[in-house]
Structure 1
Amino acid sequence: MSTMTAEKSKIRVALAGNPNSGKTSIFNELTGMSQYVGNWPGVTIEKFVGIRKTDDYELEITDLPGTYSLSPYSPDERVARDFLLFERPDVVCVVVDASNLERNLYLVAQIVELDLPIVVALNMIDIAKARGITIDIDKLSALVGAPVVPTVARSGVGIDQLISSIIDVSQKDYCPVPLNYGKVAERAITEIEHTISSAPPLAMKCHTSRYLAASLLANDAEITSMILSADPDAENIRKAVGRIRMKMETRLGLDGESMLANRRHGWASGIYHEVVDHPRHDEPTATDRIDDVLLNRFLGIPIFAGIMFLIFWATFTLGAYPMDWIDFLFEHLGSSVERVMGAWGVSEMLISMVVDGAVAGVGGVLIFLPNIIILFFFVSILEDSGYMARAAFLMDKVMHKFGLHGKSFIPIIIGFGCTVPAVMSTRTLENREDRLLTILILPFVLCSARVPVFVLFTSALFETNQGLVLFSMYFLSIAISIFAAKFLKIILFKGLSTPFVMELPPYHVPALKGILLHTWERAYAFVKKAGTVILVGSIVIWALGSLPPGAEYASAESLAGRIGAFFEPIVRVFGTDWKGAVSLLFGFIAKEIVVATLAVLAKSGEDISLTTALGSLYTPLSAYAFMIFTLVYTPCIATIAAIKKETGSWKWALFSIAFNTGLAWILATIVYRGGRLIGLG
């Protein structure tokens, strides 16, 4: 079954399973990689590949998106189905949730029809035991016809045994026996197999005529299209399959899709009741008791808002001290570099480029690293505990009122980290209009790249209630997102959203390893961007502020000043000068560059802190208007590219730039002008 390399035998392994079954945790344990893990469905939205080497074998492991069925309803589910069907891995490791065994076995019932060797990873066995669920592993293995390995992916339990089972199965030319659909249906499947045997291109690529025949019997639109496009005699095949299907449905009084689904559910239910010792159902679980409070119709949303406010308060309160230390470090670094380079006889222009450009720009961004670390540490706790899935559930009713699918809240949550993966995660939405609408409102979500801008202005101009100011930005980002969704729904997308059905995972104590890993990844990405994109951007901005020769640094006569003067009339209406205009213009590259630009231009080469410099340029009202504009205006280049990729059109990417920037200008102007009218200016 496996393919040989010069040194080791290579085994291609696919990890398949329901959403939130622990596939990615097992993938990370098997490969040593650190793909993001979240305690809610839909975290994995594309396949990832990793390698695990043993003494004699090399396992090429592919983590597939979670799917409840091989009849896909969304793009990510289609990725999983197509990989299993056409890539033909040597072994399929089906990850099933031991605490929800019956539901997970439905997917197993479909995978055994693919004529592939399988191993079942019975994951979350610890949770099942905690609930009083006892599973007869040997009997489950015998009934499924494949090895079953109990695992606890979060702690690595059972991983070595799983690897051994995968290797053993790959060396045996054996596949599980697919379930029997009954005499009438089996005869129909056999007849369809014979009928499509004249479609060799697809049959040879798929290698499993039984699965294709069963899919045609269920009138699977995608498989039907594949079969017909692969055969020159397509029309005759379509008519023959239609006659076979009608004959079977007449005899059974049931359509093919329902018949197959009923048989698979019956198979899963039968095995479940054979192997599971049922726990008592009269006592509510700990998860039930917690949900009674956190999902209460009156208390749920206020509790969620309170939790988020406490996180923002902690972000400022705990982050204030390390922020001051880093600011102090970069101030002294700049002075030391200037002194040393001067002693070496380096030209004043080069010294200025390093000190006023590189050090000031990068330092102006890196001082917010503690805030990023604290924010994502607490958010990771909420995600890993299972609470974020409840947040999506709580917001479902609100989302529907504004024309959004309840499942859209998951990309919104991901968008608080970065908009690019959030846009990609919309693949979990089944309906294209829901997916497109969600993509268009995601740039309004306050991503981590904007956090330094808001922390900077909040620290400089709002001495009190800093946590409240930052919380208001997050609140506004969600409010603007859902109101924009309502507007776009009325104007562009008038169809009805599909119902929202989402599994609520059990609560569990967050794993410190996972939390620290996720926080580290966010911090590393932030520092990496500071050392690359922001460094280059800072030097470019310094150059614009220094040229042409003879112009005073960062003055209106510099190139930066001339560029800013062109855009200043647009931003002046909400209280911003040319320096703010330039920072916003460069923020199109990456939002952190807004801070770097202000750090280079606002201080004008003076030995003062950035917060002091901003305090002389902005009032609290104009600062708040600037923050709103930054929150709403055009997405960064990376997000624009993601929108183009996911929508397949530049039309929507350009629409996002124009719509967001126009709305940002309107809202910032209303806040600033309205504030001045009532005496806040």
Structure 2
Amino acid sequence: MEIALFGNPNTGKTSLFNSLTGSYEYIGNWSGVTVEKKVGNLKQQAARLIDLPGIYSLNPLSKDEGVVTQFVLHETYDKILNIIDASQIERNLHLTLQLLELGKPVVVGLNMVDVASNRGIEVHTEKLGEILGTPVTSVIARSGKGCDVLAEMVTATSYGVLDKNLIYYGKEIEETILQISQLVNGKTNISSRWLTIQLLEGNEYVKKYMYGLLGEESIEQVIRKVEQRIFQSSGKTVDQYIYQTRREVISSITKKVTVRREETRQPFSEKMDALVTNKWLGIPIFLSLMYVMFMLTFDWLGFPLSDLLDGFITGPLTNLIEEFLRLVGASNFIHAIVIDGIVAGVGGVLVFVPQIFILFFFISLLEDSGYMARVALVMDRIMELVGLNGKAFIPMMIGFGCNVPGVMAARTIETPKERILTILLTPLMSCSARLPVYALFVGAFFVKYKAFVVLSLYVIGIIVALIIAKLFSKTILKGETSLFVIELPPYRLPQFQTLWRSTWDKGKGFIRKAGTFIFAGSVLIWLLSYAGPSGVDVKMDESFLAMIGGVFAPLLTPIGFGSWQAGASLLTGFLAKEAIISTMNIIYYVPDESSLQGLLATSYSPLAAYSFMLFILLYIPCLATVATIRKETASRKWTVISVAYAFVVAYLLCFLVYQGGKLLGFS
């Protein structure tokens, strides 16, 4: 049995999915979009639950939301599970009524009844079920209360589909539904009533589907005819007429099933929102939370754990590998490539895993608590000034984890101008791959100010993005700014299991990359350092790696780090930012003598070190991000611009920082 899970965003759909299935498996992404496709088996039930993206309507506004319509049109499923937020029941019922029109068995889970009660709202589930003609039960998905009853209800065979139409759309539309029904009879298994209503509401996916069934001309004739009749009788467009008719029915249902009490005190969410979204306090609060997060990542928790892992890798693990190589009689070449190349390169990246996971844990904490939506709202005021809106800041926040999904998340932005602009700006956000570089350098040069230095890099990335957005929106990407609408979810205390799952999902890619791409890159980098024009086993300064890095050294001298080592590291950083650490570990590797941080302290000044980190932040995106930009924009021009402008901005800003710092007496 295949059960499709539908619901509005922020209704607790993910919590319900986890409660009903216990675990889930990622099958990948839905075709052509960034939205993850999640499928899980119901506990103790012979059924699979398919988690669909959160939507407000089956008529999508963005490409990602179109996943749901495509699913309805082209996938097979047996039943529908619709989750409703009891505290926002009137808005949620817009989707519910559209789902009932599909003609499939529907079960409604009324979630967040505790939140609704706190807001003075009581919903009569039995009365709601009677009106909708489908089973309804109350649940609290976060705690799992009522989820077992819901699972039994949705897998039961004792209920069928709705045998009446909740909404009478008027003579003109009802006649059109009958006409379409006769035309598509035997050509599709999808409800002709749903197809007709969605077609008249302007659902482009349904229109394309209907063109395939009946032909474009016949469909357009039907639409023109009903549009004329509706306008003559009501003075409204068809989609306006359908929306108003549906809204009147929903308003009637809501009055019958809800009871509202007078609230004697201001809800907690409103008090918090008055503080964290305050015009003057919102951004300082955000920066303060970021500072605490970086202190935990780089100082209080992160560095001690990284030191322990580093001690294990460079000590017992390296000794164990060396002993194994000795036992199997490995040659000096094999010994060198394993210890000096793979262990030094991959191990040098893996030591930062604790810090990566700590950062992702606290980002997940802020997301799951409902705070990140408030950050987007706060940033909307600033984003408007540069030709964007708060919705564009959401892909940028995703970019803090990885620029690739951040760029892909720009698909949710409706206007082409804002979508391209967001794609160009997202790589300026400091992703987790840059984090090991920061950790390495702040540990070597800025021990007392680690969190502050890293926070400054994140803030600079945002400020530069805003300046570039203003420049581009006034020149090469002119256009009107769209309106920003966002739903603020209620504040919640995140559950540890959910936090850990979210953290693992974000962080496992870092480990996977270390075990594959960084592994292969470390071998290649070591081979380039091992061989040179004069042969093999040459001095590092005479290797091919030194020759390649030396080509870029003169260009890098004015910004503070004109060495072949820096040039070689930056070149490999284009493939993946983590590869910078692998390259440096191999270049500066001296067995049993000194740590990498100690060796770097002899090669860089603090000013040059900050300039280097700033360059890593801003210079060209990694190869995967560039490929994603090419795919998302479908334009070689915008891909070249994304690489070129980032390098120019990085170079100019680092030049100002380094040369200005020298003039001011910093070293």
TM-score normalised to structure 1 length: 0.90
Q: Can you give the 5+ residue segments of structure 1 that lack an aligned partner in the other structure?
A: 1-10, 37-43
Q: Larger deviation: 24-33 or 449-458?
A: 24-33
Partner of 1:20: 10
Which residue in the other structure is 1:536 paired with?
520
Q: Distance in 2 between matches of 1:320 and 1:49?
A: 35
1:570-649 equivalence runs, <5 A: 570-576=555-561, 577-603=563-589, 607-649=593-635
How far the C-alpha of 1:54 sits from its partner, in A, is: 6.5
Residues 555-580 of structure 1 deviation map (CA, whole Å, 9 limit, x = unaligned):
22111111112222232332221111
The residue that corresponds to 1:177 in the other structure is 164
SS of the aligned residue for 1:588 comes to helix
CA distance 1:646–1:13, shift in 2 (3 Å): farther
Whether the 8 Å CA contact 1:218–1:255 is kept in 2: the answer is no
Map 1:219-618 onto structure 2 (within 5 A).
Answer: 219-220=202-203, 223-224=206-207, 226-228=209-211, 230-232=213-215, 234-235=216-217, 237-318=219-300, 319-332=302-315, 333-334=317-318, 337-338=321-322, 341-342=325-326, 345-548=329-532, 550=535, 555-576=540-561, 577-603=563-589, 607-618=593-604
Residue 328 of structure 1 and its aligned partner are, at CA, apart by: 2.3
State the match for 2:46 in structure 1: 57
Contact 1:357–1:539 (Cα < 8 Å) also in 2: yes
- The Cα offsets for residues 361-415 of structure 1, whole Å up to 9 and x where unpaired, read as 1221122222223222222221111111111111101011111221111111111
Distance of 2:208 and 2:535 partners within structure 1: 69
Contact 2:180 2:196 in 1 (8 A): no
Alignment pair present for 1:76 and 2:64 = yes
The 3 A distance-change label for structure 1 pair 173 and 461 is: same
Q: In the aligned structure 2, how far is the partner of 1:323 from the partner of 1:553?
A: 33
Runs of at least 5 residues in structure 2 that lack an aligned partner in the other structure = 27-32
Aligned to 1:207: 190
Listed one character per residue, the Cα deviations across residues 575-596 of structure 1 (whole Å, up to 9, x for unaligned) are 2211111111112222111111
| Alpha-carbon distance in 2 for matches of 1:228, 1:158 | 44
Structure 1 residues 426 and 149, CA gap change in structure 2 (3 angstroms)? farther
Letter of the 1:31 counterpart = T
Q: Write the deviation string for residues 144-201 of structure 1: whole angstroms up to 9, x where unpaired.
A: 11111222222222332222222225x755236333235xx2443323541574467x
C-alpha distance in structure 2 between counterparts of 1:531 and 1:217, whole Å: 52
Residues 345 and 90 of structure 1: CA distance in aligned 2, closer, same or farther (over 3 Å):
closer
Deviation at 1:211, TM superposition (A): 2.3
2:220 partner letter: R
Q: Which residue of 1 aligns with 2:30?
A: none
In 1, Cα distance between the equivalents of 2:273 and 2:611?
Answer: 39
RMSD: 2.5
Match of 1:150 among 110, 119, 138: 138
Tell me the SS of whatever aligns to 1:50.
strand
Contact kept? 1:144, 1:176, Cα under 8 Å: no
Does structure 1 conserve the Cα–Cα contact (< 8 Å) formed by 2:66 and 2:205? no
- Using a 3 Å threshold, how does the CA distance of structure 1 residues 484 and 25 change in structure 2: closer, same or farther? same
Look up the SS of the partner of 2:541 in the other structure.
coil
Report the Cα distance in structure 2 between the residues aligned to 1:90 and 1:650, rounded to whole angstroms. Answer: 44
* 2:593 counterpart letter in structure 1: D
How many pairs were matched up?
Answer: 657
Q: Is the 8 A contact 1:181 1:260 kept in 2?
A: no
Shift of 1:242: 1.7
Provide the rounded CA distance (Å) in 2 between the counterparts of 1:88 and 1:137: 29
The residue identity in structure 1 corresponding to 2:225 is R
- CA-CA distance at 1:514 after TM superposition: 1.4
Residue 33 of structure 1 and its aligned partner are, at CA, apart by 3.3
1: CA distance between counterparts of 2:482 and 2:334? 60
**Farther-moved stretch of structure 1 (599-608 vs 584-593):** 599-608
Measure, in 2, the Cα distance between the counterparts of 1:192 and 1:162. Answer: 33
Q: CA deviation at 1:550?
A: 4.9
Shift of 1:542: 1.1
For 2:518 and 2:121, locate their aligned partners in 1 and report how far apart those are by CA, in whole Å: 53
CA distance in 2, matches of 1:18, 1:327: 45
C-alpha distance in 1 between matches for 2:138 and 2:243: 27
Letter in 1 for 2:237: D
- Contact 2:391/2:413 (8 A) holds in 1: yes
Q: Which residue of 2 aligns with 1:191?
A: 176
Residue 134 of structure 1 corresponds to: 122
Alpha-carbon distance change, 236 to 470 in structure 1, aligned in 2, over 3 angstroms: closer
Change (3 A) 1:66 1:554: farther
Deviates more, 1:609-618 or 1:404-413: 404-413
How far the C-alpha of 1:339 sits from its partner, in A, is 6.1
Structure 2 Cα separation of the partners of residues 116 and 65 of structure 1: 19
Whole-Å separation in 2 of the counterparts to 1:191 and 1:378: 53
Is 1:105 aligned to 2:89, yes or no? no
Output the amino acid matched with 1:92: I
Matched, 1:671 2:657: yes
Question: Are 2:25 and 2:39, in contact at CA under 8 Å, matched by a contact in 1?
Answer: no
Query: In structure 1, what is the equivalent of residue 29 of structure 2?
Result: none
Q: Distance in 1 between matches of 2:577 and 2:246?
A: 50
- Which amino acid in 2 is paired with 1:51? G
Equivalent pair of 1:294/1:300 in contact (CA under 8 Å): yes
Identity %: 38
Q: Retained in 1: the 8 A contact 2:403–2:431?
A: yes
Give CA-to-partner distance per residue, 1:400-459, whole Å, 9 cap, x none.
111122111111111111122222222222222222211111111111111010111111
3-state SS, counterpart of residue 464 of structure 1: helix
SS of match in other structure, 1:92: strand
Distance 1:360 1:26 in 2: 44
- Change in Cα spacing, 1:444 to 1:237, as seen in structure 2 (3 Å) is closer
- Please state how far the C-alpha of 1:357 moved relative to its aligned partner: 1.1
CA–CA distance in 1 between the matches of 2:264 and 2:124? 23
- Could you say which residue in structure 2 is the equivalent of 1:6? none
3-state secondary structure, aligned to 1:241: helix
Which of 22, 27, 45 pairs up with 1:32? 22
Post-superposition Cα deviations, 1:102-124, rounded to whole Å, max 9, x if no partner, equal 11011112221222221112122
Paired with 1:161 and 1:551, the residues of 2 have a C-alpha distance of 70
Please give the secondary structure, in 1, of the residue aligned with 2:292. Answer: helix
User: Could you tell me which amino acid in structure 2 is paired with residue 313 of structure 1?
Assistant: M
The answer for the alignment partner of 1:41 in structure 2 is none
Partner secondary structure for residue 465 of structure 1 = helix
Tell me if structure 2 keeps the 8 A contact 1:85–1:114. no
Partner of 2:432, secondary structure, is coil
